[in-house]
Amino acid sequence: MNTIPPIPPTPVVELDNLKVRLGRREILHGISCRLGASGTGKAIGLLGPNGAGKSTLILTLLGFLRPSAGHARILGLDCQHSSGEARARVGYMPENDSFIGEMSAVAFLRQMAELSGLPPDAALEKAHEVLFHVGLGEARYRELRTYSYGMKQMAKFAQAIVHGPELLILDEPTNGLDPSARARMLTLIGEMKETQGMSVLVCSHLLRDIEQVCDQAVILKDGLIVHECNLEEDRRSNRRFVELEVTGDDRHLRAALPGIGADGVPEGGGRWRIVLPAGVELEAIWGLAAQQNLLIRKLTHRRDTLEEIFLKAMGHLAQTPGDSAALEGQA
Amino acid sequence: MAVYKRGYRPYRGPLTGRMARFLVLPRTAWRRLYQQRLVPLLTMLAFVWPLLCAGFIYLTNHATLLQGLDREFRQFIQVDASFFATFMYVQAGFAVFLAALAGPGLIAPDLANNALPLYFSRPLTRWNYGLARMTVLVGMLSIITWVPGLLLFALQAGLAGGWWLRENWTLGAGMVVGFLLWLVVLGLVSMASSAYVKWRIVAGAVSLAFFFILAGVAEMIDQVFRVRWGHVIDPAWSVNRVWCALLGVDPPRGPGAAASAAALTVIILLLVLVIERKLRPVEIVS
């Protein structure tokens, strides 16, 4: 009996040797990757220091910038040749202030919804609905220029979702928000992906935001992808990281760690970072330390945070033990 | 269920076509334009002259009302090419001021508020946007230019009879084409000035200054070099020269209609280039 092979899901973002130049300067140096799967309601975080090329990548995906080489696709559509079709399925929230100050929020959202193809009546209804949803219901007839910064951020978010896009591109969505507004924004983003099934691409320099809402993270540095990680998998994994501080001669500890099924890297001054696989308990560390005549001064166990992943990708931190093992394995 | 109770649900209904999306911008822009006090006021003022012209047409076509007048004077007050040319000059002047008043409010606020990325992140191209803004201006200025002109032409044709229409149909066609040419120039100048100057009032002043300065420069070239071709850089003069050819009235001294049309084409292309460079979702500093 013939079975139909499963159709691979369309990646949300697909880059193929993408190079982008701004003037005479090349910003993106031939990056390739496949991120997310459309319709799965996952969020991708785009991280990187200033000047890494995050905004350039977003602008290229929206078709605002023309690649000097390679291709960029969103939801399977070429960002240059099918930009109209692609943009109809995307909602974009820019980083900077973007609105029409003389318009009321409801008129502004209605216009944006109509430009995306909603009939006038449906556009008006959605404008009201979305403004209530993001918490601007009472202020929806006020001119946008009278809004506070936090309200403007919410209005920008509202215009991005008013037409029900499949992909939401958010550039620094929590910039300048107070803690409660930030929490509200992150809740809304989470809701869009989990309840509404939208794919979300978030560009932010706030690692905690990315860690909170994203399932996948891509780290850019100097126009190149330096790291890709699956945060969802990391959250689910049972890998436990142990921070250990010992006194004594710890030169043989690294060689001894595989004996208990663990792996670790020294960080100097008797400090170690050790990864314990599932099934290996902390007692094994105590036992090993006793064998090596080491005095344990500190033992804490924690998982690798996105901040550490980011700093490692930037070259400011040593490799995670598990990663180093993987690299050695590959070698 | 009340809108505030039901929460957010993505829209999954039918979508409108390209033309409906294109017309969204003109529709909202017209609504905003006519909410300004000066725009409807100036538009109403611009109807005074067409009304006077309509009265004049009525008068010339009613012999009984003219019986008391001198014969030579009766021959002087004819509805001919000169009549329509005079009508066009006055309305063209109103159009300049209305374009300077309303034009900058179309693009300048979008640039000042950085709204272009929001427009262009939707299925709307830069050309669509520019054309939509142009439609707003041409539509608004049409109300005071070729539309009343055509109504006057129809009034004269109706009162004078079929023979007049057969002999003078080129006047009507020439008037519409001539006005549309002027509106395109006005619209582009207005858009270009508002694309570069974010303050509305200054942008309006710049679009007015564009015509005065070029007229002055053209005059200077003619005086300094003792030539007549300097007028080709004055768009108002060039449009007037084309109008004369279209209506068949005596042209002013200077370059011919073909040279003026060519000069206008170059000016229009330059203005389109200027606008194209500015209407971008992101500004690239190389």
pLDDT in tens, A244-272: 899 988 888 888 888 888 888 888 888 88
Would you call B12 and A164 a contact, using CB atoms and an 8 Å cutoff? yes
Give me the pLDDT at residue B113, please: 87
* A52 and A139 inside one domain: yes
Q: Which of A200, A168, A166, A195 is nearest to A36 (CA)?
A: A200
pLDDT of residue B78: 81
Sheet of A13-22, strand order: A25-35, A13-22, A69-74, A77-78
Note whether B68 contacts A: Cβ–Cβ < 8 A.
no
Nearest beta carbon to residue A129 from set B8, B12, B121: B8
In whole angstroms, how far apart are CA A197 and each of A42, A216, A279, B14, B275?
A: 8, 16, 36, 20, 40
- Chain B residues with CB inside 8 Å of A87's CB? 120-124
Q: Can you give the three-state secondary structure of B52-70, one letter per residue? A: HHHHHHHHHCCHHHHCCCC
Closest-approach residue (CA) in chain A for B33: A102
Our CA-based measurement puts residue A271 at a distance from the nearest CA of chain B, in whole angstroms, of 48
> How do beta strands A90-93 and A167-171 pair?
parallel
A189 and A318 part of one domain: no
In this structure, the number of other CB atoms found within 10 A of the CB of residue A6 comes to 6
Report the b/e string of A120-156 with b at 16+ CB within 10 A.
eebbbbbbbbbbbbbebbebbeebbeebeebbbbbbb
Chosen domain end from A188, A213, A230 = A230
Question: Do the domain assignments include residue A286?
Answer: yes
Cβ–Cβ of B120/A62 closer than 8 Å? yes
Q: pLDDT band for A100, please (50, 70, 90 cuts).
A: confident
Size of interface A-B (CB pairs under 8 A): 129
The predicted pLDDT at position A123 comes to 96
Q: Is B125 in Cβ contact with A87 (below 8 Å)? A: no
CA distance B134 to chain A (A): 17
Average of per-residue pLDDT values in chain A: 86
Question: Which residue did the predictor score with more confidence, A302 or B127?
Answer: B127
B9, B11, B30: best mutation site toward chain A, by most A Cβ within 10 Å? B11
Cross-chain residue pair A98–B114, CB shorter than 8 Å: yes
Residue A1 within any structural domain of the chain? no
Do A104 and A188 fall within a single domain?
Answer: yes
HSE at residue B75, side-chain half, CA atoms within 13 A, is 2
CB-nearest partner of A132 from B3, B13, B123: B3
- The answer as to whether A176 is a domain residue is yes
The residue type found at A120 is: P
Sheet containing strand A271-276, strands side by side: A263-268, A271-276, A240-247, A295-302
Phi (first) and psi of residue B254, to 5 degrees: 145, -165
A98 and A70 belong to one structural domain: yes
Read off the pLDDT of each residue in A1-20 and give the average, rounded to a whole number.
Answer: 80
CATH code, A272: 3.30.70
* A175 and A66 belong to one structural domain: yes
pTM: 0.81
Residue A7 lies in a domain: no
Of residues B16 and A100, more confidence is placed in B16
Whether A280 and A152 share a structural domain: no
CB B155 within 8 A of CB B87: no
Percent of chain A with pLDDT over 70: 87
* Of A71-85, A145-159, A288-302, the least confident: A288-302
Examine residue A4 and state whether it is found in any structural domain, yes or no. Answer: no
Which token pair is A140? 């929806």
DSSP code of residue A52: S
Same domain assignment for residues A194 and A279: no
Please report the pLDDT score of residue B271 as a whole number.
Answer: 95
**Residue A236 pLDDT:** 61
Last residue within a domain, chosen from A208, A230, A252:
A230
Rounded Cα–Cα distance for residues A139 and A144 (Å): 9
Where chain B has pLDDT below 70, the residues are 1, 3-5, 63-69, 71, 73-76, 283-286
Q: How far is A8 from chain B (nearest CA, A)?
A: 24
pLDDT at B37: 86
What is the C-alpha to C-alpha distance for residues A137 and B245, in angstroms, rounded to an integer? 59
Per-residue pLDDT at A331: 35
ipTM above 0.85, yes or no: no
Q: Which of A287, A133, A57 is nearest to B11 (CA)?
A: A133
Task: Count structural domains, chain A.
Answer: 2
Query: B257-278 and B235-247 helices cross at what angle (nearest 10)?
Result: 130
pLDDT of residue A330: 39
Report the pLDDT value the prediction gives residue A28, as an integer from 0 to 100: 93
Considering the domain architecture, whether residues A286 and A220 belong to the same structural domain is answered as no
Cα angle B158-B52-B137, degrees, rounded to a multiple of 5:
90
Domain termination site, one of A209, A230, A251:
A230
Is A79 found in the same domain as A147?
yes
Q: With bands split at pLDDT 50, 70 and 90, how would you rate the model's confidence at A175?
A: confident
Question: Residue B198, Cβ neighbours under 10 Å: how many?
Answer: 16
| Whether A260 and A217 share a structural domain | no
CB B28 within 8 A of CB A111: yes
> In which band, very low, low, confident or very high, does the pLDDT at A329 lie, cut at 50, 70 and 90?
very low
| Contact status, residue A225 vs residue A209, Cβ threshold 8 Å | no
Q: Do A100 and B24 make contact, defined as CB atoms within 8 angstroms?
A: no
Distance separating alpha carbons of residues B180 and B163, to the nearest angstrom: 27
Confirm if A70 and A140 have CB atoms less than 8 A apart: no
Res A241: pLDDT: 75
Q: Which domain holds residue A292?
A: 237-330
Half-sphere exposure of A329 (CA within 13 A, CB side): 7
Distance CA A255, CA A239 (A): 20
Q: Which pLDDT score is estimated for A146? A: 93
**Residue A67 and residue A200 in one domain:** yes
Tokens of residue A273, six digits: 């970072």
On chain B, the residues whose CB falls within 8 A of the CB of A97 are 113-114
Q: Tell me, what CATH number does A74's domain have?
A: 3.40.50.300
Supply the pLDDT for residue A327. 40
Q: Which residues of chain B lie closer than 8 angstroms to A63, CB-CB?
A: 120
